[in-house]
Structure formats: C-alpha cells, structure tokens
Amino acid sequence: MAGCLALVVGAGRGARFGGELPKQYHDLAGRAVLRYSLEAFLAHPDVDEVRAVINMDDRDLYDEAVGGLALLDPVGGGAARQDSVRLGLESLIEYAPERVLIHDAARPFIDGETISRIIDALNNHSAAIPGMPVNDTLKRGEDGVITQTVSRDGLWRAQTPQGFRFPEILAAHQRFAGRELTDDAALAEAAGLDVRLVQGSEDNMKVTTQDDFSRAKSYLAGAREFRNGTGFDVHRFDTGDHIMLCGVKIPHDFGLSGHSDADVGLHALTDAILGAIAQGDIGSHFPPSDDQWRGAESHVFLRHANDLVRARGGEITALDVTLICEAPKIGPHRDAMRARIAEILDIDIGRVSVKGTTTERLGFTGRKEGIAAQASATIALQTRTTTRE
Ligand code: MG
C-alpha cells in the first residue's frame, strides 16, 4: 500500500486561453507548464508516485514535456474536469494509496511547503485544501452597476493541490459523477467530509488566460540566479597533421597528444560549464583511466555538461573561450568554431565567443610546445523551481 500519491490533472483544452496548443503544454522558460508541478510532487519526500491525467490526443506533447521524469504512465481524462479526476482516481485503485493529492496542471508554481501543509492536515482531517483569504472588497454587480457589497468575512480563494484520504474521495467522486462541481473539495463537502483549510501561497497562481501566462513568465524571469564558471586546459604538441580545436579540424604541422581527441578548447569550456553548476570537472565525469573515453570526440563531454545544466532547468547565457598559442592562427577559424559550439549545445551563436592570443613567444606556448585554453561560462538557473542545490 502506497502512502501518498499525486494526481496532476491536465486533460482540458483551455478554452479561455485560446490557440491550438493546450496551455499546459506551452513553453514557460524552457519547460512545459505541466512539467513544473510534476517536478514539484516528484521532489517532495512524502509523495510516493505521481500520475498525470491527460487528453490522450496530446500523448506526443505529453511525452515531450515530461522527458526524463520518473512518473507513472498517464491516464486519459474525460469530457469534464470532474470526469478526468474520477478516471484518474479509479486508475490509482491498484496502488491502494492512503492519501491522494489532486492538483491542476495549470498551477505550475506549487511549492513543497504548501504540499507539506496539506499532507500534514490529512493526519487529522479527511480532506484539506490550500486557500488564500480574500482581501479585496467584494461587489455584486448587474449591467455594470453595483447591487450589493458582499462581506468578505470568512471567504477564501481555493487552490490546489487538494488532499484527501483516498477511499473517501474515490467514493465521493463515484457517488456524485455527473453533478457539476468546480473543485474536488466541493465533492467532499457534498459527501459530508470535513475539509480543512490551510494556508496556500500567492505564488501558486492558476494560468487560465494569456495574461496569466505573461505574469507567470515575468514571475520566473525575476527568479533567475546567474552562475559563472571558469576552465583551463593544456595539451602538448605531438606528431600528426591536424588538431581539433573547439570542435573544428584544423590542418597543422603537429597533432595534440591526449587521451581523447585532445580538443583543448572544448575541454576548458566543459570545465567552465561544470564549474558554474559546481559539478566537479571533466575528469570526474570522464576519467582518463576509463578506456571507453580513449580517442573520444570531445563534443560528448561538452554535451554532457549541457545536459546537467538543463536537467536543473538552467540555460547557458554566455560562453567565452580564449585559445593561447603561436600557431595555428585562430582568426580564420573563429566563426566555424563558434558555429560548432553553438550547434553542439543547441544555443544561439550570439552567446558563443572564441578568441585567440599568443604569449609573445614566452613560455611553453611561446616555444610552440603546446596549446593552452581558458574559458568562462555564464549560466542562468531557476531559483523558484524544485531542483535546488
Ligand atoms: Mg584536456
């Protein structure tokens, strides 16, 4: 028997949002709206499994939106939200959970603290929902004219996730199937269950209209943390007729010696990206002692570092590589290198800088014994999402 399962309901077509693409699949700073709340429940220590209820016509969109997440398979919803929830609950019977949290996919910014308050309230109550007290004065109007001032005393705005003891909410949904109620708590109330109100969060907004979507975007834009990392690498010249520099093959009088393809530029860059997210260095991810990396093409290392950034909801905003050598001349190859790096990382070439310099014939690079490279990477991480470190 599972303790607590989460059901994220995103089967609607979003009539008030407009457009072809359902709002839960819209891209919000690099992730689908739906993905945010799924990640929040997956990250919560007291939630055992997470399942989405979707419109099965959107299965491809869903698969793309949730790539890499360890979710239960989605189930298909029904014509109305209430049908979707009931079908979702029935799909969970086989897990016999003690508790279930029912959440709207259109609320991307649910936080762990609110989830905890709901789960805790279920220790003493059959049901619990997050709410925010109404602060505005309420008016009833007709044809643009006020007919009444309504007391706001004791009024709350209901949010999700709404939490329930599973057998009770399943029974309520089955009993009241077909009756149109706007949230799951209303079914629990109709069934005579006591529903606890706990503190919600103003950030836990619902994306219903295009205006809401714009607000969600600016909310996230104000929640970015910038990180910087640096990298440095050296490889020695050896016999050969070409070198790999920043992913570009350049004919040369020598080659570069190294365990992989010895691309000193991509190695420095990979270390810079890993440094920005405090994820060690290239050697800790791809040990030289491991023979599988012998002769490896260095774009593999760079792409891995980028995958780690994206797994945390981050994005690369600027890269700068300086190649330090007397020869070959970097200038003629600079744009090809920038283009190759942008291609490997799937970012705009305008975010990639490559420069060359010499050391005025001083030192090992001046004596043409090898090439050095240094790099810096600037990365934006979301701070209001679940994967923090
Ligand atoms: Mg190296």
Confidence of residue 341 (pLDDT cuts 50, 70, 90): very high
CA of 235 to the centre of ligand 1 (A): 6
Distance 219 CA to ligand 1 centre (A): 40
Q: Which of 57, 51, 56, 58 has its CA nearest to residue 103?
A: 51
What is the pLDDT confidence band of residue 360, given thresholds at 50, 70 and 90? very high
- What is residue 295's predicted lDDT score, i.e. its pLDDT? 83
Residue 282 CA, ligand 1 centroid: distance in Å: 8
Average pLDDT over residues 206-230: 90
Distance 272 CA to ligand 1 centre (A): 12
Distance 258 CA to ligand 1 centre (A): 7
169 alpha carbon to ligand 1 midpoint, in Å? 59
Ligand 1 centre distance from Cα of residue 267 (Å): 5
Report the DSSP beta bridge partners of residue 52: 8
- For residue 327, how far is its CA from the centre of ligand 1 (angstroms)? 18
pLDDT of residue 312: 80
What is the CA(208)–ligand 1 centre distance, in A? 50
pLDDT value at 10 more than 90: yes
User: What's the CA-to-centroid distance between 293 and ligand 1, angstroms?
Assistant: 12
Distance CA 194, CA 115 (A): 19
Distance 375 CA to ligand 1 centre (A): 13
Rg for the chain (alpha carbons), in Å? 27
Q: 160-188: per-residue pLDDT in tens?
A: 999 999 999 999 999 998 888 889 999 99
Whether 387 has a pLDDT exceeding 50, the answer reads no
- Band of residue 388 on the pLDDT scale cut at 50, 70, 90: very low
- Mean pLDDT of the chain, nearest integer: 93
- Quote the ligand 1 centre to 298 CA distance (angstroms): 9
Could you read off the pLDDT of 70-98 as tens digits, one per residue?
999 999 999 899 999 999 999 999 999 99
Same fold: 4-221 with 224-382: no
pLDDT of residue 62: 96
- Residue 363 CB neighbours (<10 A): 11
pLDDT tens digits, 249-270: 999 999 999 888 999 999 999 9
pLDDT at 389 over 70: no
Instruction: Report the separation in Å between the CA atom of 302 and the middle of ligand 1, taken as the mean of its atom positions.
Output: 12
- Provide the CATH topology of domain 224-382: 60s Ribosomal Protein L30; Chain: A; (3.30.1330)
pLDDT > 70 in the chain, percent: 98
Ligand 1 center to 247 CA (angstroms)? 13
Question: What's the CA-to-centroid distance between 34 and ligand 1, angstroms?
Answer: 40
C-alpha 244 to ligand 1 mean position (Å): 12
Q: What is the mean pLDDT of residues 178-202?
A: 92
Q: Is the pLDDT of residue 386 over 70?
A: no
Q: How far is the CA of 301 from the centre of ligand 1 (A)?
A: 11
Within the chain, what is the greatest distance between any pair of CA atoms?
A: 90
Cα-to-centroid distance, 262 and ligand 1 (Å): 6
What pLDDT sits at residue 294? 85
CA of 347 to the centre of ligand 1 (A): 23
Condensed to tens digits (0 to 9), the pLDDT of residues 36-77 reads 999 999 999 999 999 999 999 999 999 999 998 999 999 999
Domain boundaries, the chain: 4-221, 224-382
DSSP assignment of 31-44:
EEHHHHHHHHHHH-
| CA dist 84 → 107, 109, 182 (Å) | 17, 22, 13
Fold of 4-221: Spore Coat Polysaccharide Biosynthesis Protein SpsA; Chain A (3.90.550)
State the distance from the centre of ligand 1 to the C-alpha of 377, rounded, in angstroms.
17
For residue 233, the CA-to-ligand 1 centroid distance in Å is 5
Output the CA 340–ligand 1 centroid distance in Å.
18
Terminal Cα distance for the chain, rounded: 31
Record the pTM.
0.68
Q: How far is the CA of 326 from the centre of ligand 1 (A)?
A: 19
Beta strands in the chain (DSSP E): 4-10, 27-28, 31-32, 49-54, 75-76, 99-104, 127-133, 138-142, 145-150, 156-158, 162-165, 195-199, 224-238, 242-245, 248-251, 255-256, 315-324, 352-357, 370-382
